[in-house]
Amino acid sequence: MPFFLTRLLARLTFLRSWATPVAVALFVFATAWPLLALAEGGDSEIVQPANYWWWFVVTAATVGYGDLYPETGGGHVVGAYVIVGGIATLTTIFTKLATALENARGRRMQGAITVTTSDHIVLLGYTAGRTERIVDQLLAEDAGQVVVCVWDDVASHPMPDREVEFVRGELTEREVLERAGVHRAHRVLVDARDDNEALAVAVTVDHVATSAHVVVTLRDMARVSLIHYVDEGIRCVQWHTPRMITEELQSPGIAEVYAELMTHGGANTYSATLPESLGRVRVGDCQTALGRAHGAIVLAARADGELMVNPPWQAELPAGAILYYVGPRRLEPDQIATTLRS
């Protein structure tokens, strides 16, 4: 009986709303009361207003505490009527809850949602394996909420097992970027399928984003000038360096520092071996002496086969250890020896 009643309710268009269970419960409540009074008698304890509502709730919920119950055959029929109405009401509620949850999950998997968060990271574009690597690095560094916004050719959420929101659509359309929350984002990465596409998406991002730090990956860094025609504040990173991309997203401007270090002229990175004649030397002494005399900064040291990046100043380096430093020019071992002895 409850099954057929539920099927009937499902077929009625005007009952396909959250008002349906409320309407059913109120109808059963209002009709069962006079019927129960007729069956049990107007002076029965169960039909008193203070008691009837309690009996109705526990009966409709099929709990049945047994403190109040009808005693006549007609009262039993009314009780069965209330039970059937309660089952139909609860079934409708649970069905609609399950449908709502399934629809919400479906919208999330299909990228049809609208992101409502702020100060998040938006990744525009998707490349299997590569995007997962970038997302994992960002999540590992607790960079905040990540939203992946992709083209329509990605049919469903590519990373459903990660705490990542998914938006799908035409990345050169303002409406799609706004659904991804680009206008409220703190950082935006344009990681397109080619440089021409990256330029087109960057134009749209520039019109939508308000104060976000925008990073564009390029396969040909000669096209940086074209991106800067759009906005000189956009940072461009080599497409083939995912780690540098995440660092630029986290620390704006770091890619420019790396680029300067890898460019001939200005400050470059070098290595040098500490002369045997010096014996053991503290890292702090190297930093102070080489910095004052030659404008060099020790980045790392290799001693006894171990590489120490940003070594502590109190650490001691044996003779023959290798220094890695950044400076305006290469230092010869005798220059280092002379500087450290003075």
Q: What is the pLDDT of residues 43-62, one digit of tens each?
A: 888 889 888 889 888 888 88
Confidence of residue 13 (pLDDT cuts 50, 70, 90): very low
Residue 253 DSSP symbol: T
Q: For residues 29-45, give the mean pLDDT.
A: 86
Residues of the chain with CATH 3.40.50.720: 121-261
Q: For residues 126-130, give the mean pLDDT.
A: 93
Q: For residues 19-48, give the mean pLDDT.
A: 85
Q: Given a cut of 60, is residue 87 above it in pLDDT?
A: yes
Q: For the domain bounded by 268-341, which CATH number is listed?
A: 3.30.70.1450
Q: How far apart are CA 257 and CA 251, in angstroms?
A: 11
Please give the model's pTM, rounded to 2 decimal places: 0.62
User: Cα–Cα distances in Å, from 148 out to 120, 143, 173, 190, 261?
Assistant: 11, 14, 15, 11, 31
Output 15-23 pairs: Cβ under 8 A, ≥24 positions apart: 18/96, 20/92, 20/96, 21/89, 21/90, 21/92, 21/93, 21/96
84-93, 120-129, 200-209, 305-314, range with the lowest pLDDT: 84-93
Does residue 215 sit in helix, strand or coil? strand
What is the per-residue pLDDT for 218?
Answer: 96
Pick the CATH number of 2-109 from 3.20.20.120, 3.40.140.10, 1.10.287.70, 1.10.3720.10: 1.10.287.70
Residues of the chain with CATH 1.10.287.70: 2-109
- Percentage of residues in the chain having pLDDT higher than 70: 90
Q: Could you write out the DSSP letters of every residue in 267-321?
A: SEEEEEEPPGGG-SEEHHHHHHHHHHHH--EEEEEEETTEEEES--TT-EE-TT-
Residue 63 CA from chain centroid, whole number: 43
- Interval 183-199: pLDDT, tens: 999 999 999 999 999 99
Confidence of residue 258 (pLDDT cuts 50, 70, 90): confident
